Amino acid sequence: PPDVEQLGRSSWTLLHSIAATYPVSPTPTEQNQARQFMGLFSKLYPCWVCAEDFQEFMTRSQVRVESREEFGQWMCEAHNEVNKKLGKKEFDCSKWEERWRTGWKD
Ligand code: FAD
């Protein structure tokens, strides 16, 4: 099976990048696609304990896809849920776009 940490870093990069390039004002079709993608992702994720907990999170906290901002915030909250579970520091979700779309300003 794939390395859970490497898989995780790559997967979060993909997921946050999808949110960062998601339309600011998505059409109903785009919203359905994003919702379906996350539902299927949570079922196909190749770390079964991770997938099981992530599906459980998604039933408690339904994916928000009505805008880029909502999708990005939701993704950040989803990632923080895993951070918390693993005893990692929580990420400040007001900074998700700076981290994943516009780049840090230093
Ligand atoms: P990662 O957590 O991979 O984060 C990568 C980078 O994202 C960070 O360096 C930071 O810049 C940024 N970041 C951190 N938090 C946020 C946030 N909230 N929002 C936006 N950006 C952020 N591992 C397990 O051991 N058990 C599990 O049950 C488990 N479940 C997972 C479920 C999913 C859906 C995914 C995608 C991964 C899961 N993982 C799990 C892997 C785990 O989340 C980490 O990816 C892995 O432990 C490597 O961690 P890391 O410290 O390198 O950084």
What's the structural domain count of the chain?
A: 1
**pLDDT given for residue 106 in this prediction:** 58
Ligand 1 centroid – CA 84 distance (Å): 10
Q: pLDDT tens digits, residue range 11-29?
A: 999 999 999 999 999 999 9
Q: Is residue 53 part of a domain?
A: yes
Distance, in Å, from the CA atom of 86 to the CA atom of 106, rounded to the nearest integer, reads 29
Query: Which pair of structure tokens corresponds to residue 11?
Result: 């997967």
Q: Of 82, 88, 96, 101, which is best to mutate to test ligand 1, by the most ligand atoms within 8 angstroms of its C-beta?
A: 82
The alpha carbon of 8 and the centre of ligand 1 are apart by a number of angstroms equal to: 5
Asked if residue 106 is part of any domain, the answer here is no
Mean pLDDT, residues 70-96: 97
94 or 105, which is more confident? 94
Residue 21 lies inside a defined structural domain of this protein: yes
| pTM score | 0.96
- 94 is a domain residue: yes
Q: Give the domain CATH number at 18.
A: 1.20.120.310
Structure tokens at 10: 């790559």
**Cβ proximity of 67 and 42 under 8 Å:** no
> Is residue 57 domain-resident?
yes
Q: What is the value of ipTM here, to two decimals?
A: 0.99
